[in-house]
A = this chain, B = another copy of it.
Amino acid sequence: MKKDKDASTEEKIIEAARKVFTRKGYAATRTRDIAQESGLNLALLNYYFRSKEKLFEIIMAEKVVQLFGTIAPIVNNMDTSLEKKAGDIADAYITMLVNNPGLPLFVLSEIRNNPQMFGDKIHAGKILTESYFVKQIQERRPDINPLHLMLNLLGMSIFPFICQPVLEGANVITGRAFESLVAERKNLIGIWFNALLEA
């Protein structure tokens, strides 16, 4: 884990851009915010990255991989059971999202704002339709569209983080308590998913 102390100027800008873009979205962030957050000045952003848009594309590509790539190795593992995979997926997502709580809302909003910009760039399609995990679901429950169960599993893992700003704002559950709650879910979701497989 490199720290700011010895980070290159380029890396300082990237790190600041990560923070600001993911917190406020593309349209609402000002390049001045990124410059200030990085402790550097505005001109350097263009010196290193040519434009706000180019800088954004770098961050966005990185975040798309982070969101959709987290479970890629799990869903195509041919050596684990359906039940094990479900638990692994929940665990992987929650562990990653506790450190990046704003990630899903950021990526999904930006895709909404610019649908044509992605499309093919997202391997979510493969995970949701062609993965070994989906095949295992189909074998177990040939009577139901496997997408239903995928959405339930991903929703149970990711949805709490999408709601976090509301839960915080409405004082339903905040800070550490929220983190404890989602940590509990690492184990519960596997159990719940099994129940859904039987239902």
Contact = CB atoms under 8 A, between A and B. Distances in A.
B158 A159 contact: yes
A194 B185 contact: no
A115 B147 contact: no
Interface in A130-180: 145, 147-148, 151-152, 154-156, 158-160, 162-163, 165-173
A50 interface: no
Interface in A2-23: 23
Given A162-B162, A181-B145, A118 B169 contact: yes
B125 A165 contact: no
Nearest to A28: B27
A69 interface: no
Most B CB within 10 A of own CB, among A109, A158, A184, A192: A109
Interface of A: 23-28, 102, 105, 108-109, 111-113, 115, 118-119, 122-125, 128-129, 145, 147-148, 151-152, 154-156, 158-160, 162-163, 165-173, 181, 184-185, 188, 191-192, 194-196, 198-199
19 contacts: A25-B28, A25-B109, A27-B28, A105-B105, A115-B169, A119-B170, A122-B170, A124-B170, A124-B172, A125-B170, A128-B167, A148-B188, A152-B155, A152-B156, A154-B159, A155-B156, A155-B159, A191-B199, A192-B199
